[in-house]
């Protein structure tokens, strides 16, 4: 097979890139090692910045997002038993975010690709990338007991943190920055109405909690837990009981509980690869960077990568210019490091770090008090949360 761009990874990054390239008349194939159903079964973030919303519209797949997505103009900060609202729209001149599940966004893109009759190779086994430091990159994979090869001009590594693309780059050619956190997030998805119309971020002596949502009838809740905890240690009853203990009285009273339809524990890390390309292979999304989910930046950073990468590839084919390709990594990383800093700061502010003791909790409470009572500090938080300008 011969294509212009081979996209490794069929999640939201790969699907969005494939859609934008298709609209520009660029031939691209997507390879995904899992099945389509598996991809849609992964429960991920659901807070979209304007850059992500605009790209979905540009890709022509934003209709259901606008119909079902929930506009949020603010969120609540809970500490010392009281909630304080951060009014993002007022603080940022009318900017907001949209709550729309990553699964639904990916489904919209997959449906559009299928309707266009474009090639997505699911359950592609043993994917390997070759000669990406030359003008003739190749991708090999196994399917139905046979080995196949794709010749291409460029490889887009959208295959996540554990994917083959970044792992194939010579170690001397990249630098990896990483911070791991001493806790994880226990997440529960339930068919219950949200406890509040907007998100609640809770700093509690018992640990962090987040009350989120996917729709008016589907809720997503998180608890900070030790990395040693296992999902099977947490029954639904135990989860709801602990969540109540981390909320304020009003939220406890309004909390509707029910059976979990998904439950998982995710570790938290900050991770960045520099640069984000090697030869004719480019990394995008989780293949290049990971942020703690506290700031809701992961999917939005991936969308920004795709915006820059699709634009660079389109410029290459339409104008025969490699200028944007040459600046891809630099343009992405400036925004990535800003989001990494914000996500690290917000995570450090809202979670319990046992090694910091009681004084650490007091420091957090003092900073939170300043944050909600200083317009300048609140504005900084709101500006970062809705997304800094490109």
- Helix pair angle (323-350, 298-319), 10° resolution: 180
- Helix pair angle (12-23, 102-115), 10° resolution: 40
Find the mean pLDDT for residues 372-379.
98
CA distance 8 to 65: 25
Any idea which residue has 């439950």 for tokens? Answer: 263
Find the mean pLDDT for residues 196-215.
95
Q: Is the pLDDT of residue 45 over 90?
A: no
Q: Which residues have C-beta within 8 Å of that of residue 37, sequence separation ≥ 6?
A: none
Any idea which residue has 């850059």 for tokens? Answer: 51
Q: Is the pLDDT of residue 74 over 90?
A: yes
Residues 86-127 have pLDDT tens digits of 999 999 999 999 999 899 999 999 999 999 999 999 999 999
Per-residue pLDDT at 42: 79
Q: Is the pLDDT of residue 390 over 90?
A: no
Weakest mean pLDDT among 12-16, 37-41, 334-338, 381-385 = 37-41
- Helix pair angle (298-319, 50-58), 10° resolution: 40
Per-residue pLDDT at 94: 96
Find the mean pLDDT for residues 222-248.
97
Considering the chain, what is the average pLDDT of its residues? 96
Find the mean pLDDT for residues 54-64.
96
CA distance 8 to 124: 10
Judge contact between 267 and 184, C-beta under 8 A.
yes
CA distances from 264 to 235, 334, 348, 350 (A): 12, 32, 22, 20
Find the mean pLDDT for residues 323-333.
96
Find the mean pLDDT for residues 144-148.
95
pTM of the shown model: 0.94
- Per the DSSP assignment, residues forming a β-bridge with 322 are none
Taken in order 12, 277, 180, 86, is the CA torsion positive or negative? Answer: negative
Find the mean pLDDT for residues 291-314.
96
Q: Is the pLDDT of residue 189 over 90?
A: yes
Kindly list the structural domains of the chain, giving each domain's residue range(s) and its CATH number in brackets, ordered by start. Answer: 5-72+97-178+269-346 (3.50.50.60), 182-268+356-386 (3.30.9.10)
Q: Is the pLDDT of residue 152 over 80?
A: yes
Task: Return the percentage of the chain with pLDDT > 90, whole number.
Answer: 95
Per-residue pLDDT at 289: 98
Active-site residue set: 72, 201, 293, 297, 385
Q: Which residues have C-beta within 8 Å of that of residue 64, sequence separation ≥ 6?
A: 104, 108
Find the mean pLDDT for residues 268-272.
97
Taken in order 61, 67, 68, 73, is the CA torsion positive or negative? Answer: positive
CA distance 357 to 130: 50
Find the mean pLDDT for residues 77-86.
96
CA distance 98 to 194: 15
Q: How confident is the model at residue 41 (pLDDT cuts 50, 70, 90)?
A: confident
DSSP per-residue string spanning 122-147: ES-EEEEEE-TTSSS-EEEEEETTEE
Per-residue pLDDT at 46: 84
């Amino acid at each position: 097979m011969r294509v212009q761009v081979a996209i490794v990874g069929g999640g939201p990054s790969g699907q969005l890139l494939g859609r934008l390239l298709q609209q520009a008349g660029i031939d691209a194939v997507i390879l995904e090692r899992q099945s389509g159903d598996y991809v849609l079964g992964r429960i991920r973030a659901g807070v979209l910045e304007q850059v992500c919303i605009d790209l979905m519209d540009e890709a022509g797949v934003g209709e259901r997002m606008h119909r079902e997505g929930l506009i949020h103009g603010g969120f609540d900060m809970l500490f010392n038993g009281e909630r304080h609202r951060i009014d993002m729209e007022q603080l940022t001149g009318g900017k907001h975010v949209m709550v729309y599940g990553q699964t639904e966004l990916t489904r919209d893109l997959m449906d559009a690709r299928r309707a266009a009759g474009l090639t997505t190779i699911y359950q592609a086994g043993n994917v390997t990338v070759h000669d990406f430091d030359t003008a003739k990159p190749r991708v090999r994979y196994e399917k139905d007991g046979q080995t196949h090869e794709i010749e291409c001009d460029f490889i887009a590594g959208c295959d996540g943190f554990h994917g083959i693309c970044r792992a194939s780059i010579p170690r001397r050619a990249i630098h990896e920055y990483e911070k791991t956190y001493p806790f994880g997030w226990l997440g529960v998805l339930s068919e219950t109405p949200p406890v509040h119309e907007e998100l609640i971020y809770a700093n509690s002596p018992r640990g962090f909690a987040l009350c989120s949502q996917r729709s008016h009838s589907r809720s997503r809740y998180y608890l900070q837990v030790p990395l040693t905890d296992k999902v099977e240690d947490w029954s639904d009853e135990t989860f709801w009981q602990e969540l109540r203990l981390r909320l304020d009285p009003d939220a406890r009273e309004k909390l509707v509980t029910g059976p979990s339809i998904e439950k998982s524990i995710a570790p938290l890390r900050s991770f960045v690869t520099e640069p984000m390309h090697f030869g004719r292979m480019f990394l995008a999304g989780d293949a290049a960077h990971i942020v703690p989910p506290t700031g809701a930046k992961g999917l939005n950073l991936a969308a920004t990568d795709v915006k820059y990468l699709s634009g660079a590839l389109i410029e290459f084919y339409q104008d025969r210019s490699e200028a944007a390709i040459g600046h891809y990594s630099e343009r992405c990383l400036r925004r990535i490091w800003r989001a990494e800093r914000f996500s690290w700061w917000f995570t450090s502010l809202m979670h319990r770090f046992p090694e910091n003791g009681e004084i650490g909790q007091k420091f957090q409470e003092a900073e939170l008090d300043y944050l909600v009572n200083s317009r300048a500090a609140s504005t900084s938080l709101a500006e970062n949360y809705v997304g800094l300008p490109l």
